[in-house]
Amino acid sequence: MSSSALPHGPETFFPLFQEQQHQEERELSLLRKRMEELEATQRKQLQDLGPARERVTAGTYGDLARDKIAGEGNAESEDSK
């Protein structure tokens, strides 16, 4: 059997292997880019939510403190009756 009769020699394999590697590198590059975009979007959303979350938290705790103080004031005035 001569070497030219081999159907899948290194001459055939190497270009296919290179093409597959290039395709995988392109896919990885696209995935990295997409991941960076998602991370940037997430950071922006967290920054946007940060002040709103602080207002909600401060508002909630502020309401609780105000209700507690108001409740204590009502209890004291009822005790004085």
Which pLDDT tens digit goes with each residue over 54-71?
666 666 666 766 776 766
Q: Could you give the CA distance from residue 3 to residue 9 in angstroms, rounded to a whole number? A: 8
What is the value of pTM for the model shown?
0.48
Residue 47: pLDDT band with limits 50, 70, 90: very high
| Tokens 């009756």 found at | 81
Distance from the first to the final alpha carbon of the chain: 115
Tokens of 62: 């502020």
Amino acid at 53: R
**Measured CA distances, 4 to 8, 15, 36 (Å):** 10, 17, 48
Amino acid at 9: G
Residue 1: per-residue pLDDT: 44
